[in-house]
Amino acid sequence: EIDLKELVEQTIQRLSLIGKEKNIHIRAHLSSCSIYAYKPYMEELVINLIKNALIYNRENGEVDITLHQEGRQVYFEVKDTGIGIPEAELSKIFKRFYRVDHQNRTGTGLGLSIVKNIVQYYQGTIDVRSQIGAGTSFTIRMPIVEGERKQYAQYDTL
R_g of the chain, CA atoms, integer Å: 15
Residue 73 touching Mg ion (CB under 5 A): no
Length of the chain: 158
Quote the least distance from Cβ 48 to Mg ion, whole Å. 6
Of 83, 115, 117, which is closest to residue 100 (Cα–Cα)?
A: 83
Near ligand ATP in 128-147, by CB under 6 A:
136
Angle at CA 60, nearest 5°, toward 58 and 63?
75
Q: Give the Cα separation of 134 and 92 in Å (integer).
A: 20
Q: Which does 140 bind (CB under 5 to 8 A by kind): ligand ATP, Mg ion, none?
A: none
Q: Which stretch binds ligand ATP (CB under 6 A): 2-10, 19-27, 79-87, 142-150?
A: 79-87
Asked if 62 contacts 25 with a C-beta cutoff of 8 angstroms, the reply is yes
Quote the least distance from Cβ 40 to ligand ATP, whole Å. 16
Q: Which residues pair with 65 in a beta bridge?
A: 28, 78
Helix (H, G, I), strand (E, B) or coil at 152: helix
Q: Which does 73 bind (CB under 5 to 8 A by kind): ligand ATP, Mg ion, none?
A: none
Residue 111 touching Mg ion (CB under 5 A): yes
* Per-residue mark of binding to ligand ATP, 90-129 (x: CB under 6 A): ---x----xxx-x----xxxxxxx----------------
Read off φ and ψ for residue 130, nearest 5 degrees.
-155, 150
Quote the least distance from Cβ 135 to Mg ion, whole Å. 16
**Interface residues toward ligand ATP, by CB under 6 A:** 48, 52-53, 56, 80, 82-85, 93, 98-100, 102, 107-113, 136
